[in-house]
A and B are shown apart, each in its own frame.
Chain A
Amino acid sequence: MSRLTALANGAAVETGALAAFNFRDMGGWHLITNEWGQFLMLSSEDFDRFMAGKVVAGDPLYPELESRGFLKARLDFKQLAANYVKKNSFQWFPGPSLHMIVVTLRCNQKCQYCHSSVVDPSRTDTDMDVETARKTVDFIFQTPNPTICIEFQGGEPLLNWPVVKFITEYAQAKAKAGNRKLLMALVCNFTLMTEDKLDFLFDHHVSICTSLDGPAELHNKNRPFLGGGEAQQKVVHWLEKIQERCSADVKKKYYLPGALMTTTRFSMDYGPQIVDLYVKLGLEQIFLRPLSPIGYAKRVWKDVGYESDEFVRFYEKTLDYIIDLNVSGKSDIMERMALILLSKVVKGEDPGFMDLRSPAGAVLGCLAYNYNGEIFVSDEGRMVDHQGDPIFKVGDVAKSDWTSVIDHPTTRACVTASTLDNQPMCHQCAFKPYCGVEPVFHYETQKSVFGQMPTSGWCVSHMGVFDVIFRKLRDPRARKVLDKWLERDQCRWQESETVPAGQPEVV
C-alpha cells in the first residue's frame, strides 16, 4: 500500500506553467517540494489554486513560488543549481571520509540488540593485530578525500587498547606527513575506561562517544554485562568525570563526550525519563534512533523489536517533551534526528548523515574495516557478513587498492539501488529531496538491495519522522525552538573549524 497521497477526485489540474514538483497532503494543508530542495507549506485552498494554474503575477503567493523554483517560466537556473549542489555536496566528495575500524569483536557486555554480534572476551582471535592495523591505516590514506575521520568501534575497542593507540599515533603521523585533516573518535561502553586511557585520548584529540540507553533499569536491561551485572552506573560515572575535566580546561571544550541511545521495545514507555537523564548529565543532544533488524538484532527482533509506526509515535511523543522543556526554559537539549532533517530542509545543507543521502553513504561516504582487514560497504554490511553472508564485502586491506573498492560490483549495486530516482514511490515522494534508502537494511529485511518501498519499515519510520518535523515547522511555538537549535548547531561547527590541516581535530 502506497503511503503517497493523491489529489482529490475531480481536482482541477492545469500544470502547464508549473515546474516539476512533488506534493503531500498533510491533512488541512499541503507540502510541495522540488529537486532543488526548496519547499512550501500551502493551505489546501492555495494548493488547489496552484494546481489549477490560478496563481498568477500579482498574487501574493506568486513571488514565493517564483523564488523557490515552482514556476516553469521563471526558473533562476544559476541559483537553483547552486542550491542543488549545496544540498547534495556529497555527490562531489572525493571518496568517503568516515572510516570505521573494528579493532576487536570481543566485548564485556551482551546487549540485547547488539549489531556488532560480539564474542566472549576469551575470543582473542578476533583482535586486530598491529600489522593489519598498519595496513588498514595505509588503505584509509589512499582515499582521495582531504579529510579523514577514523572511528574506533567493536566489540568493545578498549579491549584491544594497544591497537587503538597504535592506529591513533600512526594515522596522526600520516596526516601530518600528507597534510591531511584528521578527525578521530572512539565509540566505547566506558566500563573499561581508566584515567590513563582518558589522558591518552585527550592528548591525542580523540573524541569520545558512549551508549546510554536511559535510566538504570532500562540501560541494564538493554545492555547487561556478560554473565550479569549492572553497567549504567559506570557509564554515568565516566560521563560525569569526562565532563568535569572538559569544563575545567577551555582547550577540551570540544571534547565533551557524546552519548547514543538505542530504542528497543523496552524504551517505548521511557521517553521522558531518558530525556531527563540526558538533561541531568548535561548532554547537549539526544539522538532518538530506531533499532534496525540487522545482524544480531534480526535474530532477537521478536523480543526487542517493534513496528515502525510504534517508533514514530515514540519519536513524536518524546520530541514534544523535548520541545516543551525548551519552551519552558528548563533545558536547551536538542534532538539530533530533528537537527539532521532541519539542516537539510531549512538550511538546504547536507549534515553528513550517511543514511539519508541519495545515493546512500555506503562506500561513497563511509567504509567499515573488520578486525581481519576485510573491507565492507558500511558497518551494517560487516554485520551481514558476520551472519555468514559476505555479500557486502568490497575488499581486503592486504590485497585491495582504492580504485578496486570503488569499481567493485557491490559498490555499484549499492549506489544504484540507493539512488532515489530509481526507486518506485521514492521518486514521487515529497520527502525525496531530503531522504535516502539504505541497501543493507533492505537486503536484510526484504532480501533485495532495492527493497520494496510500499512495505518497507525504513520508509514507514522515515516518512513518519518527516511528517512530524514538517508539522513542527508549521507550529510557531515549536518552530521557534527548532530555529534556535539550527543557530546553535551552526555556531558549534564554525567554532570547531579553527584547526589547520595536518593537525588532529575533534569530530
Chain B
Amino acid sequence: MKLVLTKKIYSKDALLIAAQVLSPKLNVYLDETKSSYEVTLEAKRKDVEAAKLQALAGEFANELLNQEYRFIVGRFNAKISSLIITQTLMAARGGETPAAPPAGESTPEFKKLVSDLVKNAEAEVARTMPKKIPHQGNPLPPVKEDAGV
C-alpha cells in the first residue's frame, strides 16, 4: 500500500517516529520527490488481508498525525515546557555538586554499627535462607507485540 504525503504538512522526523511506533506490525519504506514523501507500507505478517492492511495504514496515518501535531504543540509551548522541565530536573539534581556524606557516617561508632549489621544479616541469611542458586537468566521470554492490548 502506498501513501503520498505532502512535505508542506508532514516532516521526515514525524514519518520516522510513526514508522518506529508501527514497526512491530509494518515494514515502512520511504522515498521522496521535491514536494512529497512516498511511503510504502507492507504488513509484517504474510497472511494479512487487504482490509486489515487498510486498517494498519489508518493506524500509521493516525500516528503520523499525532507526531506532527505533537511537534506543533511542542513548538507552541516550548518556552513554558522547557522552563518546567529545567526547573524539575535541576531541583531533582540537587544543584551542581552533590552533597558529601554526613559527618556522622565517618565516625568509628557508625562504621562499627554498619559492620555489625552486615555481619549479622549475612549470618542470618546463611542460617535461615535456602542456598542461593547461580543466576538462571530472565525468567520470562520476550513478550509478543500483538498480545492483544
Q: Is B108 an interface residue (CB 8 A)?
A: no
Q: Is A221 an interface residue (CB 8 A)?
A: no
Contacts A162-B124, A389-B142, A407-B93; A92 near B80 (Cβ below 8 A): no
Task: Determine the chain A residues whose CB is within 8 A of the CB of B81 once the complex forms.
Answer: 416, 419, 421-422
Contact, CB under 8 Å: B136 / A125: yes
Most buried by B among A105, A134, A422: A422
Q: Is B88 an interface residue (CB 8 A)?
A: yes
Q: Is A83 an interface residue (CB 8 A)?
A: no
Task: Determine the chain B residues whose CB is within 8 A of the CB of A263 once the complex forms.
Answer: none
Report Cα–Cα, A302/B149, bound state, in Å. 8
Contacts A94-B92, A95-B93, A406-B89; A177 near B117 (Cβ below 8 A): no
Q: Is B63 an interface residue (CB 8 A)?
A: yes
Task: Determine the chain A residues whose CB is within 8 A of the CB of B80 once the complex forms.
Answer: 421
Task: Determine the chain A residues whose CB is within 8 A of the CB of B9 once the complex forms.
Answer: none
Q: Which residue of A lies closest to B148 (CB)?
A: A302
Task: Determine the chain A residues whose CB is within 8 A of the CB of B118 once the complex forms.
Answer: 130-131, 134, 166
Q: Is A96 an interface residue (CB 8 A)?
A: yes
Task: Determine the chain A residues whose CB is within 8 A of the CB of B135 once the complex forms.
Answer: 125
Q: Is A39 an interface residue (CB 8 A)?
A: no
> Which residues of A in the span 320-360 have a Cβ within 8 Å of any Cβ on B?
358-359
Task: Determine the chain A residues whose CB is within 8 A of the CB of B17 once the complex forms.
Answer: 448
Contacts A427-B73, A445-B149, A455-B62; A91 near B89 (Cβ below 8 A): no
Number of interface residues of B (CB under 8 A): 62
Mask, A133-158, CB within 8 Å of B = 1, is 11000000111100000000000000
Chain A nearest CB from B13 CB (Å) reads 13
Mask, B101-131, CB within 8 Å of A = 1, is 1101101001001100110111011001111
Task: Determine the chain B residues whose CB is within 8 A of the CB of A129 once the complex forms.
Answer: 125, 132
Contact, CB under 8 Å: A177 / B149: no
Q: Which residue of A lies closest to B68 (CB)?
A: A424
- Give the interface size bracket for A toward B: 35 or more
Q: Is B77 an interface residue (CB 8 A)?
A: yes
Task: Determine the chain B residues whose CB is within 8 A of the CB of A22 once the complex forms.
Answer: none
Chain B nearest CB from A58 CB (Å) reads 34
Q: Which of A68-76, A168-176, A184-192, A266-274 contacts B (4 or more CB under 8 A)?
A: A168-176
Q: Is A239 an interface residue (CB 8 A)?
A: no
Q: Is A117 an interface residue (CB 8 A)?
A: yes
Contact, CB under 8 Å: A422 / B88: no
Q: B85, B114, B121: which contacts A162 (Cβ < 8 A)?
A: B121
CB pairs A–B below 8 angstroms (16 shown): A124-B130, A124-B131, A124-B133, A144-B95, A161-B128, A170-B117, A173-B113, A363-B92, A386-B139, A386-B140, A406-B93, A411-B89, A412-B85, A415-B85, A423-B70, A454-B66
Residues in A lying within 8 Å of B, measured CB to CB: 90-96, 105, 117, 119, 122-127, 129-131, 133-134, 141-144, 160-163, 165-166, 169-170, 173-174, 176-179, 293, 296, 298-299, 301-302, 305, 358-359, 363-364, 386-389, 401-403, 406-407, 411-412, 415-416, 419, 421-424, 427, 444-448, 450, 452-455
Nearest 6 Cβ contacts at the A-B interface: A144-B94, A177-B104, A166-B121, A178-B102, A388-B142, A162-B124
